[in-house]
Every structure is written in structure tokens, then in C-alpha cells.
Structure 1
Amino acid sequence: MEENTDINLSSGKVESPSGRDDGDKFNLQRKIFVGNISYRVKQHQLTKHFSQFGTVDYCYVVKDHLKKWSRGIAFVTFQDKKSMTRALQATDEELMLDGRLMRVAPAEESKRVSYSEGANWQTRLPPSLPTQTQDGDTCESDFHCSEQVTLPNVSHLELDACGECAIQRLYDDSLMLIFSFLSVKEHVRVERVCRRWRHLAQKSWNRQHKLQFRHMFKGFIKGLTDSILNSLLQRCGVYLRALDLSASPQLLSDLCADSIGANCPNLTELNVSGASVTDVSLRTIAQACPKLRGFIQERSFYVGDKGLTSLFQGCQSLEHVDVQNNAGIVGDCFHSLPTTVKYLNLDHCTKLSDLGLRKICLRCKHLTELYISHCKSVTDQSLINITQNLKRLKVLHMEGSYSQITSSGLKKIGQLIFLKELSLSQNSAVDDGVLVQCAVGCSNLTNFDISGCYKHVTDLGIQALTRCSDLSYLNISYLSHVSDSCVEALATSGKLQSLVARTCSGITDRGTSAEPEHLDTSRSSVTINMYNLSMPHLKADREIMLRPADSSSEEEEEKEEEGGGQSEPVSLCHQSVMAAGAEITSDNEWDVNELDGFECDDYLIGDDPLEEERWSLS
């Protein structure tokens, strides 16, 4: 019995003397794995070579599924087990083919078959560790070696192949977790490795809840397209909760809305700023994504009240709406604005009317943040509606110049007792009375910006802000009528932490103690920024600094009055232009006749006087 029966220790099966096993599903008892095959060897050549060990039933050379090239490995199935044993015990000379030494090993069932995909890792036994040969080489691939095999001359390519196959020993759950931490680009590339990785990579998209494209595409031409977006959303769209297209919207068309609607039913946040979205696109998104809570669409040129009406009617759970820089919004869409909206940004919506703001005030009683900067059509009536209906408002931004808003209308802001952040930058209607009313009524203010309101704001209005005990940030840049006294009053009261005072001509070093010798930083963390961050076009004295082009000097006007006639025009190119403080001598006076033949009359106007020497030497 012992002489006529073979027992396979790896599988535990009893085989007949003939070497065949009827229960062998993949003929593993008669199949060997062959590696390090020359890429020029064909299937019939390999079959003929291994026929010296016995009859070969079938020979399969593994090829690349795209280029159809040989991958240098094959599986050879013999007619009986004795032939397989002779092939495994073959010498190096017998395994030489086309100048390469092939390596052989018993074939085993692939891990993809032996371990079911998606099974719990705790219920499975770990696979066998890779076998270390005498030469220190590791033999491991999609198959598993059942006995120790010596690999005498393994090339660098084979080592790479063994190294790549080592990760195949990880469980499916571990691979899926690794794939979920990859970037979007690497996640897609992983799908091209093999079928198993493609299956696991596609399953690992369920961890992708947010998708954005910052720092993904290089240059303006290579960006996100409709086809790329559609391909990605087909993989992870059903799992997405937030989608941001604002980083690369230049190549997207209105077809992107169809992809979003078809693949992203569970979206709660959507940013399509800069994309070519139309009114029809918004209607598609509203029908397919009713769970939206945040919607951002900046710099839109094709969306108006009609498209936003469809969005507001389809998404009744909206809380965050940002449609700034949209010149097509008048305000007719706000009659269907959800009552759940708490954040609304309408900056630079220049056609926004009082009627539109009135609809906002009547529907959104819980609004806490409102941005209407540079909305030039807003009047005092809008401020009355805001203060009477939006009692819970905490943030209000009204930056820019408004031709139909007066100081009496701005004084109504003092009725918003819960207001914490207020910005009235570059608003010419702001005066001391407005600041006093805001300080008295809005006692909870923490951030206040009145930069650029230089016409009517003085020390009286700034000192009134000392009543705001929680004020931590104040911007008084470009205010020419404030002095050191207001800064001293702010420093001695309240919780002011940040004071911005750029180009304030009335504030000196005495008020700010900006000189290092006047500062005592030993017991407090004082940080002083001495960089000049001011903007010349916002300075209050910019009209004084710039001289009109057609104005004449006082001396010329006096000569005209005394002479009673018009003075002769003075050619600017005949005037001596020198640096401040330089003395005119006979050596450095310019010869007027030298410029007579020069075509450009204003060559040296306003340039450095050394240009005379450079021009003469040229």
C-alpha cells in the first residue's frame, strides 16, 4: 500500500500510481511553473523543449493583455506526474533555452481563487511566507512554491517581478485601505496593474467622500475636461458628499452638470465656480441632487434668476449660498429661496435691486451672514428691511461706494444688536454719527473695518468705538482726519488685539510708539509689522499728489497777467532736468541744439540727469 500510493502533503490528497487525480480541478499535480523564459521563445518551441522529460498535454505562455507580448513566464502541463518530477529535477544544462536559464517550480492555485474576495480577514489563515533560497533570493509570484527552490542566476527584472508580487500576499481589505489613501491620479493608475487590483481599487472608492482638483493639473491647457470628470464620477460619484470644480474649470462645459446629475445623488456641497454652467444645468443639478446644503458659483456669466429659481425650488435644504460676481442676478429668484439659508454672498451683483433684498429679508429670518459689497443699486430702503427683519444677523459686509445710500440709512445698522462683524470699507457715506450709532447699538462687535472712509470720519467717531468692549480687530487705514488721541483711547480700553492703520497721516510715532526704543516688549508679546502695504490709489491725498497735466506754473500765470498777453509755449525737451539739490554749472548744462535732429521729443523728460551722458556716448 505504501509503495503504490503517493500522498501530496500540500493538499492532503491520495493519488493513484498513474499520477492522475480525478479531484484535481486545475491539474496542479501535473503542472509546473516556468520562469525567466526568453521573450523570443514561442509556445511550440517551449513545448518541444519540455517534451524531453515526458509527454506535454498543454503549454500556456502568459502574454501582456494589451501589447500581446510574452511576459517571460509559462505553465506546462504534463501527461503524468512522473514527467513533472523529472522536469523539476532537471539540471541547468537541460533548462537552458535561447541563452537563458529557465527556472521551474510546482504550480499552485492562485491566491485570487483560494481566498474569496471581501471575506473577513479575521476568519482567514495567513498565507505562507515567501521561501528564502540559499542565495538569498525570494521566490514568490501569483503561484506559491510548495518546496524550496534554488535560483542561481536571477536577473534584476526577476527580482522586480518577485518584489511586485510580494504585495499580493496582503489581504483584500488591506489593499483596499491602502488604495483609499492614494491621490486621485494614483488611484486611477492602480486599476491598470492587474484584474485583482482593478477590482479592489474600484471597491475602495467608497471611502472617497470629497473630490477636489487643486494642484492636479499643470498649466492652463491640460486641465479637467468633461470626459475626465465623467469617468471619475462613474467610479466614486455615488459616495461623494462634496465636489469642488473651482480649481480647474476652464475646460468644462455645461455637460458637466449632466455628469453630476447622473452620478452624484448624495451631494451636500457643490462648487462650480468658473465653469460654463447655464440655467438648464442648474435645473438638472436641482432635480438630481436634492440634498444640497452648500452651493457656490462665482464668476458666472450664463446664469440668471431663472436658473437659481430652479435650484432653490429643488434644493430646499440649502444653508450656504455663494453667487458673487454674477451680474445677471436682479433678485426675482429669491421668492423661492429656502428658509434654511444662513449664509448668503451677493458681492459684486451690481444689478441686485431693493425688491430682491426685500424678498431675502422676508423669507430668511434665520440668516446670520450677509455679503452685499459693491451692489451699487442698493438704497436706504434695503437697509431698513435688513434691520427690521434680519434680527439674528451676525456678519454684514457693505464695502464699496453706494450712490443711493446716505449716512441716515447706515445709522440703522445700530439696530442689529447681535452683529459681530461689520465691514464698511471705502463707503463715502460713513461719518462719525454712523460710528456712534454702531458703537451704541452693536455692543458685541468684534471685527470692524472702516478703511478708506476718509471724508467724514474723525477722532470723535473712532473714540466712540471704545464702547465696544469685545472689539478685537479694527481697520482704520487711509483715514486722514484721525490723530494720536484716538489710538491712545483705543489702547486704554477694550480687548483690541489687531489695529491696521496704513497711510494715516495724522497718526505719528507718539501715538503708536512704533520706534523700538519706545517699546517695552519684556512682559508682553508685541508684534509690529513695519512693511509698507498701503495702496497709493486709496490714499486720501492722492488728488494733491497728482498734478493735472494741463496746469501751468504760477510764474507763467503772473507773467500773463502783467504782460496782458499769452506767453510763449515752453518746450519741455529744452528744459534742464536734474536730480534734487544738484547745482547747474557751465560744465553740465545741456546743449539744446544737440536735440534738434532727434525724433523723440520727450526722450529725457523725467529721467535721471545721467542719461545725458549715456545718450551722448551712445
Structure 2
Amino acid sequence: MSAKRICIEKAKQISDVGDKDEKVVINSLDYDSLAKIIMLLPIPERIDMEEVCIKWKEACRLAWYNIKEYKCESSIGRSYDNRVLTQSYLQEILLRCGIYLKKLSLSDVCNSKIMPFIGDHCKNLTSLECKFSIDSLNDFANDFVQLTELENLECLMLDVLIELHEESIIAISNNCKKLKRLEIPYCNIVSSIDGEPLLSSSVLYELSKLQYLEHLSLRYTISLKDSTIIAIANNCKNLRSLNIESCNAITETALVALTNLKNLQNLNLYFTKGRILLIDNDEFLRKL
């Protein structure tokens, strides 16, 4: 018998002794039944229920598997609207339901230090959206690395001005094979060793390994080059949407290669250098 089950059984014995009063009907329920009742409560109240007694604390541990999505708001929520959501409280939530989460949306109540924690406790995430404020990023490039181990990710959106280590781009490409949506705008690729040059000036080329990509946003990515776009056009055949707004290093050569993408439906070239050359080219537009 596991240590957890022994603990539960002992708690049950204690509860049975203390609950002779037939009026306390709820305490006569087994752990699974009590957990199902607790699951009807909002998240903060589930955490509060752990303080009732030993039996309820154990039952609460069984009451998180129905939480598949979580979105950070400014407050904890519901009857707790006057309590501001903090990163430490978010960690308490993720400790309990992180293993069950499929979708997680982070806001500026967090800083980048939350990301290793997510990597450890939210292994089954399929969608992660980060909307940090610039002031909360701290050491984003280092903190981000552990997220690349989330092998089930299908959607990763980083809606903030960021720096990423070139190793992180390589890790995304090698580990997050299931990605269908990737948004890393305003991305600046840096070396993992301060002061050292990049191992490759075209590390974004690695993204062409993501063969299931359907939506890709690299807008305002200064280091984006023709070679990356050509590789994406040749390998990411499922791509339906591509945003390379204000990527001024992209030329006509790369844009012509995009005509190979038969499923492409949405192409944002706003303020892209090669756009001016092709915008009036009927043959190019017809191929798209």
C-alpha cells in the first residue's frame, strides 16, 4: 500500500471517530465523492478547503484533474476579486493542477522566473501564451530554456519584446515537434555566452524543421534572413499564415519562394523591403 493511501486511510479513521454526529453528513462521504463536490468550487475556494481538516485536505488533492485551462487575471477571481493574483499564488495553483493543464495564458502579474517552474510542473501543456511586461522579463533568455522541454506544445505565443539564446531556437525546433502555431515577434537572437558571437548568423533557419506549423509570426525580427524564409517555404508545407511585418532584411528572392506554399492564406508583408517590388506583380499575387 502506498504512503499516500496509508495517510488517507489513517485520516479516514480519525474522521470516522470524530464524526459520530449524524448531522455531519458530508464527512461520511468517501474521498472520491468529497473530491467531486470540491471540484464544483472555483480554484481559490478549493485551496481554502484544504484548511478544513485532514480528510478534506486529502480529498482536495483529488479535485484538480478537471482543470485543463488557466488564464491569469488581475485578481484571484470570483468572491476574491479584491485579492490581487501574485506569482507565488499562481505557483500554488500550478502545483495542484499543472500536471492536468493543457492551456495556460500568463500575464504581467508574472515575471520570466515563472517559466522554469512551468517547465517542471506543466509537462502536458499544448498551448502557452506569455504576455509579460518589459519590466518583468529579468533574465528571459535563460529562464526560457526549460520551456523548450515541453514536447506536447502545439501553440507557443510570446507577445513581448524578448531576447532568446540561439540554443533556445534550436531546442524549440528539435524538441517541440508538434508546434502548429509559433509567435515570437520582436525577437532578438543572442549568444548564450555574454560577449561571444552567435554560432550561426542564420539560426532561425532551424525553425524550418517544424513541419506541422500552420501559423508563424516573426514580425519585427531583425535577424530574419532570406535563407530562413526559403527553408520554411520548402519544408513547412502546412503553413497557412505567415507574419513577417517589418523584417527589412527580407528581399524579393525569399518572397517568391513563398509561392511554393499551396496552403498559405494569410501573408503579412507590411513594411517588408521586398514587398514594394512585388506588390504590383500580378504573377506573384496570382501564384499566392
Normalising to structure 2: TM-score of the pair?
0.76
Equivalent residue for 1:285? 147
- Alpha-carbon displacement from aligned partner over 1:531-567 (angstroms, at most 9, x marks no partner): xxxxxxxxxxxxxxxxxxxxxxxxxxxxxxxxxxxxx
Q: Which amino acid aligns with 1:338?
A: L
Q: CA deviation at 1:199?
A: 0.9
Equivalent residue for 1:244? 105
Secondary structure of 1:203's partner?
coil
Equivalent residue for 1:406? 276
Equivalent residue for 1:341? 213
Q: Does 1:113 align with 2:13?
A: yes
Say if 1:306 and 1:333, in contact at 8 Å, map to a contact too. Answer: no
Say if 2:112 and 2:140, in contact at 8 Å, map to a contact too. Answer: no
Q: CA deviation at 1:366?
A: 1.6
Q: Which amino acid aligns with 2:131?
A: S
The 3 A distance-change label for structure 1 pair 198 and 333 is: same
The 3 A distance-change label for structure 1 pair 320 and 346 is: same
Q: How many residues align?
A: 257
- Alpha-carbon displacement from aligned partner over 1:26-75 (angstroms, at most 9, x marks no partner): xxxxxxxxxxxxxxxxxxxxxxxxxxxxxxxxxxxxxxxxxxxxxxxxxx
The 3 A distance-change label for structure 1 pair 414 and 304 is: farther
Equivalent residue for 1:210? 69
Say if 1:291 and 1:317, in contact at 8 Å, map to a contact too. Answer: yes
User: Which residues of 2 match residues 303-342 of structure 1 at below 5 A?
Assistant: 303-328=164-189, 332-336=203-207, 337-342=209-214
Q: CA deviation at 1:312?
A: 1.7
Equivalent residue for 1:565? none
Q: Which amino acid aligns with 1:268?
A: T
User: Which residues of 2 match residues 132-531 of structure 1 at below 5 A?
Assistant: 142-144=19-21, 165-217=24-76, 222-225=84-87, 227-245=88-106, 247=107, 249-254=108-113, 256-274=114-132, 276=137, 278-287=140-149, 289-328=150-189, 332-336=203-207, 337-387=209-259, 389-398=260-269, 400-408=270-278, 411=281, 412-416=284-288
In structure 1, the gaps of 5 or more residues are 1-110, 117-140, 146-161, 417-618
Secondary structure of 2:242's partner?
strand
Say if 1:331 and 1:352, in contact at 8 Å, map to a contact too. Answer: yes
In structure 2, the gaps of 5 or more residues are 1-10, 191-200
- Alpha-carbon displacement from aligned partner over 1:303-362 (angstroms, at most 9, x marks no partner): 254322222211111111111233449852232431111111223334422222222212
Say if 1:309 and 1:334, in contact at 8 Å, map to a contact too. Answer: no
- Alpha-carbon displacement from aligned partner over 1:173-200 (angstroms, at most 9, x marks no partner): 3432232232222221111121111111
2:175 and 2:265 map into 1 onto residues whose CA distance is 28
Query: Relative to total residues, which structure has the larger helix share, 1 or 2?
Result: 2
The 3 A distance-change label for structure 1 pair 253 and 358 is: same
Say if 1:206 and 1:236, in contact at 8 Å, map to a contact too. Answer: yes
Equivalent residue for 1:603? none
Q: Looking at both structures, which has the greater relative contact order when contacts are Cα pairs under 8 Å and sequence separation is at least 6?
A: 2
The 3 A distance-change label for structure 1 pair 186 and 334 is: farther
Q: CA deviation at 1:208?
A: 1.6
2:121 and 2:84 map into 1 onto residues whose CA distance is 24
- Alpha-carbon displacement from aligned partner over 1:369-401 (angstroms, at most 9, x marks no partner): 1122233333222210111x2122122223x33
Secondary structure of 2:62's partner?
helix
Q: CA deviation at 1:404?
A: 4.3
1:166 and 1:207 map into 2 onto residues whose CA distance is 25
Say if 1:351 and 1:376, in contact at 8 Å, map to a contact too. Answer: no
The 3 A distance-change label for structure 1 pair 402 and 259 is: closer
Structure showing greater Rg: 1
Secondary structure of 2:131's partner?
coil
Secondary structure of 1:414's partner?
helix
Say if 2:94 and 2:121, in contact at 8 Å, map to a contact too. Answer: yes
The 3 A distance-change label for structure 1 pair 342 and 222 is: same
- Alpha-carbon displacement from aligned partner over 1:84-127 (angstroms, at most 9, x marks no partner): xxxxxxxxxxxxxxxxxxxxxxxxxxx943999xxxxxxxxxxx
Say if 1:380 and 1:409, in contact at 8 Å, map to a contact too. Answer: no
User: Which residues of 2 match residues 62-81 of structure 1 at below 5 A?
Assistant: none
Q: Which amino acid aligns with 2:56?
A: W
Equivalent residue for 1:448? none
Say if 2:229 and 2:254, in contact at 8 Å, map to a contact too. Answer: yes
* Runs of 4+ deviating beyond 6 Å: none
Secondary structure of 1:206's partner?
coil
The 3 A distance-change label for structure 1 pair 368 and 273 is: same
- Alpha-carbon displacement from aligned partner over 1:458-515 (angstroms, at most 9, x marks no partner): xxxxxxxxxxxxxxxxxxxxxxxxxxxxxxxxxxxxxxxxxxxxxxxxxxxxxxxxxx
1:181 and 1:345 map into 2 onto residues whose CA distance is 38
Q: Which amino acid aligns with 1:359?
A: A
Secondary structure of 1:370's partner?
strand
The 3 A distance-change label for structure 1 pair 386 and 354 is: same
Q: Which amino acid aligns with 2:71?
A: Q
Compute the RMSD of aligned alpha carbons.
Answer: 3.2
Q: Which amino acid aligns with 1:281?
A: D
Equivalent residue for 2:8? none
Equivalent residue for 2:197? none
Say if 2:131 and 2:159, in contact at 8 Å, map to a contact too. Answer: yes
Equivalent residue for 2:7? none
Say if 2:64 and 2:96, in contact at 8 Å, map to a contact too. Answer: yes
The 3 A distance-change label for structure 1 pair 181 and 300 is: farther
Q: Which amino acid aligns with 2:173?
A: F
